[in-house]
């Protein structure tokens, strides 16, 4: 029986040590249009919002950053003034504005770290909570497990309780999400939000999941991008739209819910085919076996671990 109790503690530890993270869009400077002079970016420490007629965004090395040297930059990410940059590795990224504006404070260094797994809370102290008092994304499941276990212990023997816990862990693994978000270029190209495109066919060949991004590339002097409801989508009605996501003609939209999103271009261009419906769903379990990506184990690895723990638990209970 003592070995069975130890196995129970191991199972509970497995539940609370998995760490899940959703990618987020960070506004440089804290606002939608705060890439400009006289902003203290060192205290703010990626979405750059700015007047593209005056400013730009250059990725540089540390030397270029410290000396405000815009020559020999690594990458010019300036597009339409509402530009995004994906941080893909753990390092320090350096950005400046050329044309002398760096000397006025338009420079920012961003340190990106690999995500560290959350510490395992003990069964006695509970689960670490966020600042708002709510448990962490996966920790919330662990709290539920412990709360139900407290009641179950009064009416169930240890063997049944362990089998019940294995079932709960299996459910938690099946609902865990380890997929990285994808940027979908609407229409398939950099500047394909335009008339006479078959967006229905394009959408049929794409898979959209919660957390993914849509990229609309277009001529902002002629077209726009409006999120609308289904009725307005079907009738090409650009009145009473939900959101106008038009910014600089290189605009992004985050799919934050599992539902169908409807977009169109106003000014009559919807009737020329500039409309698209995108169905976002929750990501399926990761089929890759025994792979850890960005600190997040795959589902199949989880299933194998659960079966192994189940075998040891059965031996402990029966022995």
pLDDT of residue 140: 42
Spatial contact of 35 and 55, defined as CB atoms under 8 Å apart: yes
Q: Which fold has domain 41-111?
A: Immunoglobulin-like (2.60.40)
Question: Nearest-CA neighbor of 309 among 173, 116, 148?
Answer: 173
| 23-40 residue pLDDT tens | 556 667 666 666 777 676
CATH number of 183-281: 2.60.40.420
Spatial contact of 82 and 248, defined as CB atoms under 8 Å apart: yes
Task: Delimit the domains of the chain by residue range.
Answer: 2-21+116-178+298-318, 41-111, 183-281
User: How far does CA 284 lie from the centroid of its chain?
Assistant: 15
> For residues 203 and 296, which has the higher predicted lDDT (pLDDT)?
203
| 204-229 residue pLDDT tens | 999 999 999 999 999 999 999 999 99
Q: The whole model's pTM is what?
A: 0.43
Is there a shared CATH topology between the 41-111 domain and the 183-281 domain?
yes
> For residues 213 and 157, which has the higher predicted lDDT (pLDDT)?
213
Mean pLDDT of 134-152: 41
**Dihedral angle at the C-alpha atoms of 309, 313, 314, 318, nearest 10 degrees?**
160
pLDDT of residue 226: 96
146 pLDDT higher than 90 = no
Mean pLDDT of 255-259: 95
| 69-123 residue pLDDT tens | 988 899 888 877 777 888 778 899 999 998 788 888 898 998 888 766 544 444 4
């Amino acid at each position: 029986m003592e070995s069975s109790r130890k196995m129970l503690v191991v199972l509970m530890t497995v539940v609370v040590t998995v760490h899940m993270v959703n990618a987020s869009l960070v506004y440089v400077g804290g606002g939608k249009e705060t890439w400009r002079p006289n902003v203290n970016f060192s205290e703010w420490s990626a979405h750059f919002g700015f007047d593209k007629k005056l400013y730009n965004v250059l990725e540089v090395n540390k030397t270029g950053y410290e000396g405000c040297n815009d020559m020999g930059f690594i990458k010019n990410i300036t597009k339409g003034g509402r530009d995004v940059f994906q941080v893909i590795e753990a390092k320090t990224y350096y950005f400046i504005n050329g044309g002398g504006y760096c000397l006025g404070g338009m420079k920012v260094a961003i340190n990106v770290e690999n995500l560290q797994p959350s510490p395992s809370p003990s069964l006695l102290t509970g689960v670490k909570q966020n600042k708002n008092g709510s448990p962490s994304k996966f920790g919330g499941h662990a709290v539920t497990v412990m709360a139900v276990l407290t009641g179950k212990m009064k009416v169930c023997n240890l063997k049944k309780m362990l089998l019940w816990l294995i079932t709960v862990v299996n459910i938690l693994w099946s609902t865990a999400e380890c997929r990285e978000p994808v940027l979908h270029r609407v229409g398939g190209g950099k500047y394909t939000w335009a008339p006479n495109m078959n967006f229905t066919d394009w959408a049929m060949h794409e898979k959209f999941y919660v957390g993914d991004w849509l990229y609309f590339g277009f001529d902002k002097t002629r077209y726009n991008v409006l999120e609308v409801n289904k009725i307005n989508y079907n009738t090409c009605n650009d009145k009473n739209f939900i959101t106008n996501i038009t910014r600089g003609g290189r605009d992004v939209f985050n799919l934050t819910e599992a539902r169908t999103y409807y977009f169109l271009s106003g000014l009559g261009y919807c009737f020329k085919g500039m409309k698209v419906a995108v169905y976002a769903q929750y990501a399926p379990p990761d089929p890759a076996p025994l792979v850890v990506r960005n600190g997040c184990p795959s589902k199949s690895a989880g299933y194998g671990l659960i079966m192994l723990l189940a075998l040891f638990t059965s031996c402990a209970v029966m022995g």
